[in-house]
Copies of this chain bind each other. A is one copy, B any other.
Amino acid sequence: MSRGILFVLSGPSGVGKGTVCAALRRKLPELIYSVSATTRAPREGEQDGVNYFFKSRDQFRHMIETDALLEHAEYVGNYYGTPRDFVEKTLSEGKDIILEIEVQGALKVREKFAEGVFIFLMPPSLNELKQRIVGRGTESQATIDHRLSVAVEEMNLLHHYDYAVVNDEIELACNRIDSIITAEHCKRERFLGELFQQLEVANTADNI
Contact = CB atoms under 8 A, between A and B. Distances in A.
Interface of A: 119-120, 122, 125-127, 130, 148, 152, 155-156, 158-159, 161-165, 175-176, 178-180, 182-184, 186-188, 190-192, 195, 198-199, 202, 208
A153 to B, nearest CB: 10
B163 A195 contact: no
Contact of A195 (B148, B158, B188, B190): B158
Given A126-B208, A152-B202, A161-B188, 4 more contacts: A122-B191, A148-B208, A159-B188, A163-B183
Give the top 5 A-B pairs by smallest Cβ distance, nearest first: A183-B183, A179-B182, A179-B179, A164-B191, A163-B186
B179 A163 contact: no
B162 A187 contact: yes
B186 A165 contact: yes
Contacts of A202: 126, 152
16 contacts: A120-B188, A122-B195, A126-B202, A148-B208, A155-B199, A156-B199, A158-B188, A159-B192, A163-B188, A164-B187, A164-B188, A164-B190, A176-B183, A179-B183, A180-B182, A183-B184
A125 B120 CA distance: 35
Contacts of A130: 208
A180 B179 CA distance: 7
Given A125-B198, A158-B192, A179-B178, A164 B186 contact: yes
B182 A186 contact: no
B175 A180 contact: no
A161 B188 CA distance: 7
A175 B161 CA distance: 25
A73 to B, nearest CB: 24
Contacts of A183: 163, 176, 179-180, 182-184
